[in-house]
Amino acid sequence: MAKRPLRKDAEARRLAILAAAETVFAEKGLDVPLEEICAAAGVGRATLYRNFENRIELVKAIMSNNLDKLDVIVAGPASPDQTIVNYLSEVLDQLVRTGGLVYLIQNDSRYSERFLRQLDLMLTPLAETTFRSDLDANAIAILVNMMSGGLGQKSFAERRQAAPLILDLALRALR
């Protein structure tokens, strides 16, 4: 049975919860009390639970939205080189914003398979790229893991500070 589409006001509250959760998780970690997310989103606890059964479902929704953003980049009109740069920039931005949420991609086959499909789609036109001749989906996945490792156990502020250097090093590695 298909879900009914949400009313506009209900959809706005759901999006506010997702945005607030992503920010609060990034700043305070995954164990933050859900009341802080409700306060940041301007909704009550009942509204949060009406939209997300539990913390795990909320985290999964954030990751799904993040993968949707990457799908848009992969399907976009940019050149293969620019697509790779845009993709890595967005991945890094997501790593900074989500911190520990990337754990889901690495440990949940639904997310890891979708991520690998994106890499394959993005790298299909490799003949048109000016990057390294040995660049493939596996190499990009390794690069993403290296970017994630560079952010390690850093706080949100430290991740934001380290991001420009990490992106610069990642793009240099591609060349």
What global pTM score does this model have?
A: 0.79
Q: Please determine, for residue 1, whether its predicted confidence score (pLDDT) is greater than 50.
A: no
- Average pLDDT taken over every residue of the chain: 83
**Average pLDDT of the segment spanning 81-95:** 88
pLDDT (0 to 100) of residue 128 = 59
| pLDDT tens by residue, 31-61 | 899 999 999 999 999 999 999 999 888 988 8
| pLDDT tens by residue, 137-168 | 777 778 888 898 888 888 888 999 999 999 99
Q: Please determine, for residue 63, whether its predicted confidence score (pLDDT) is greater than 80.
A: yes
Residue with tokens 């890094």: 92
| pLDDT tens by residue, 97-111 | 886 556 666 666 776
Structural domains of the chain sorted by starting position, each given as residue range(s) with its CATH number in brackets:
1-52 (1.10.10), 59-174 (1.10.357.10)
Q: How far apart are CA 41 and CA 15, in angstroms?
A: 9
Q: Please determine, for residue 173, whether its predicted confidence score (pLDDT) is greater than 80.
A: yes
